[in-house]
Homo-oligomer: A and B are copies of this chain.
Amino acid sequence: MEFRSDNTAGVCPEIMAAILKANEGVAASYGADPISEGLNAKFSALFEKEVVVFPVATGTAANSLSLAALSPQWGVVYCHRDAHIEQDECGAPEFFTGGAKLGLLDGPHAKIDAATLDSRLKGAGAGVQHHAQPAAVSVTQATEKGAVYKPDEVAAIGEVCRKHKIALHMDGARFGNALARLNCSAADITWKAGVDVLSFGATKNGAMAAEAVIFFDPAKAKDFLYRRKRTAHLFSKMRYLSAQLDAYLEGGLWLKNAAHSNAMATRLAEGLGALPGARLDAPVEANEVFIDLPETAIQRMEKAGLRFHRWEPGGTLLRLVTAWSTTPAEVERVISTAKEAVTA
C-alpha cells in the first residue's frame, strides 16, 4: 500500500485510453500531428487567454526550461528553501540557465510571502556588476509541504515581481491539486495574479509522463523551441505526450483526479490527526499529509507493509501522499493500523 509519493500511481484509465487511441496509424512527428496542434487552443480555453504550450515529459524539464527562459546566466531565481527546484533536481535549474543562482527564502509550509521577497530584492544589488542579478521568482503550487497559495497571495508576489521588473514562474507539479482546493479559476491563480510561465503538471495526477510549459505571454516563448530541442526534450513521437495532456484536460479529468486525491488526504489527516500523540505539521490543503506520530504507531504501520516516508531519517515526522488511485479502503487501513498501535 503506497503513500510514498503520487508518482508511484499508474496511469489513469482515461489517459491510457487516449494513448491507445493516439496509436492508430501514422502521424507527423515532432508536434506536427493534430493532437499536438490542438493543445494551444485547448489550454487557451482553460486559461481564458491566448497561451503557448510546450509539452515535455518531466517536471524537472518543465521547471528548468521555464527558468532558463526567464533568467539570464547571471540571474538569481528566488524560491523557498524547500522548493523542488532547490532540493530535488540535482542542480538542473543551474544547468539549464547556464549557472544562474537560486536565492533561498524562508516561510512556513514552504510558502514565500511578498514582504519577505520585497525586502530581499531591495538589498540584492540590482544593476551592480559584482552581483548576480535578480531575474525571477518561482512559487510552488501546491507547495512541498502540501499548502496552497491563495490568489491574493500570488498576486501580492506578482506585484513585487513587477515592481522589481523580474518574472514570476509557478511550479505547478501539483497545480491540479491546488486548483481543486481553491475556489477560483485557472486564470485567477496564474496570469491574473502575475504569473508569466507555469509548469503545468500531469504526471503526478494520472498521466504517464507529461507536463506542459505554459507561456502567458507568447512573446516570451519565441526561443523555447530551441531550448527544448537543445536539452533533448523534444519528442519525435510527440502525439503520445500530447494525447496525455489532451485527455487530462478533457471533461475536467485533471480536477476530478485531483479532487479525489485531495479528499483522500483530508480524510487521512482527519483520521490520523485525531489519534493521541499526533500532530499535523502543515495544513492539508492538497494531497500531502505531514504528520508527527508516535513511534509505536509508525512501526506498526511499517510492519503492516504500509509505505510512506519518514521526513528525516529516523524521525517521527511522516509524509504520506495520496494519488488519483488511492482508495478510501486504503486510507481507512492506514488510520486503523495507526489507531491499533496507539490504543493498544
Contacts and interface: CB of A to CB of B under 8 A. Distances in A.
A73 interface: yes
A9 interface: yes
B10 A23 contact: yes
Q: Which of A2, A16, A90: most chain B Cβ within 10 A?
A: A90
Nearest to A96: B232
Given A61-B232, A72-B226, A227-B74, A325 B87 contact: no
A253 interface: no
Contact of A325 (B26, B56, B325): B26
A60 interface: yes
A20 B74 CA distance: 35
A132 B99 contact: no
A305 interface: no
A206 to B, nearest CB: 11
A232 B232 CA distance: 9
Nearest to A207: B237
A233 interface: yes
A303 interface: no
A230 interface: yes
B92 A101 contact: no
A230 B91 contact: yes
Contacts of A225: 129
B26 A95 contact: no
A94 B92 contact: no
A232 B10 contact: no
Interface in A215-234: 223, 225-234
Contacts of A91: 73-74, 99-101, 132, 230
Contacts of A7: 29-30, 236-237
A251 B65 CA distance: 39
A10 B29 contact: no
A64 interface: yes
A97 B91 CA distance: 12
Interface in A51-80: 56-61, 64-65, 72-74
Given A95-B73, A99-B95, A90 B132 contact: yes
A317 interface: no
A280 to B, nearest CB: 23
B28 A10 contact: no
A5 B237 CA distance: 11
A80 to B, nearest CB: 15
B27 A92 contact: no
A130 interface: yes
A131 B229 CA distance: 9
A90 to B, nearest CB: 4
Given A94-B101, A95-B230, A8 B20 contact: no
22 contacts: A4-B29, A10-B27, A10-B237, A58-B234, A72-B226, A74-B90, A74-B227, A87-B131, A88-B131, A89-B130, A89-B230, A90-B129, A90-B132, A90-B133, A92-B231, A95-B230, A95-B231, A98-B98, A98-B99, A129-B234, A204-B236, A208-B240
Given A88-B131, A91-B100, A94-B100, 9 more contacts: A8-B27, A10-B24, A30-B129, A58-B236, A72-B226, A74-B90, A89-B230, A90-B132, A94-B99
